[in-house]
Homo-oligomer: A and B are copies of this chain.
């Protein structure tokens, strides 16, 4: 399982607008192995979302190359390998909660009966059983984001790209979903790229943490998380965990 699933080679992204240019990402080279769980960590505006969007084939880098499972990112996208959670929920106003979660299942043409079970299981997972008949604007901010998470998990994607999925959630819900995410991941075996600005979250979840520095966004260090799996809540209080936090904080401050 150690073939590189996602491979970036000197990837740069320059946003151009009429007047100015912003170099959002510069010369990022990295490998993510199949089935690996990695985090992108870095300050606001450092290019995390941009990198994620490049991996998802939603934008093309102005320079450099990206391969997904040996092929182009486009091929991977067309093969419906991706599930994405965006930074904002991006729910469709005209669909109820359950219909929003249903969306990707409809798109891959899953049978109706099967869909229903899946959606109910997901609703339970994110704790929104009672809200499945509501419209998005009737939910709180955190609830909306949970719907978006359920939607991304629905098709059990080969590659799961998550952009700060839990930042709108309280610590308990967040820790609960952290654990759930790990358990789903261990079952499905997806490759997960997880954007976060929480150091402890990145440690708790990941195999490796990619730390980015801003202006322009570059890869400043890669931290291996040596904690054994399955991860448990107790580990959060282990000295190893604190050491890792300190390490990453250092690599941050070095910026």
Contacts and interface: CB of A to CB of B under 8 A. Distances in A.
Contacts of A198: 171
Interface string A192-233: 000001110000000000000000000000000000000000
Contact of A141 (B143, B164, B170): B164
Contacts of A146: 44
Interface stretch (A12-20, A62-70, A97-105, A151-159): A12-20
A43 interface: yes
Interface in A59-108: 87-88
A4 interface: no
Interface in A116-149: 133-134, 138-143, 146
Given A19-B133, A42-B170, A140 B197 contact: no
A171 B143 contact: no
Interface string A7-26: 00000000101011010000
Contacts of A181: none
B167 A45 contact: no
Nearest to A48: B140
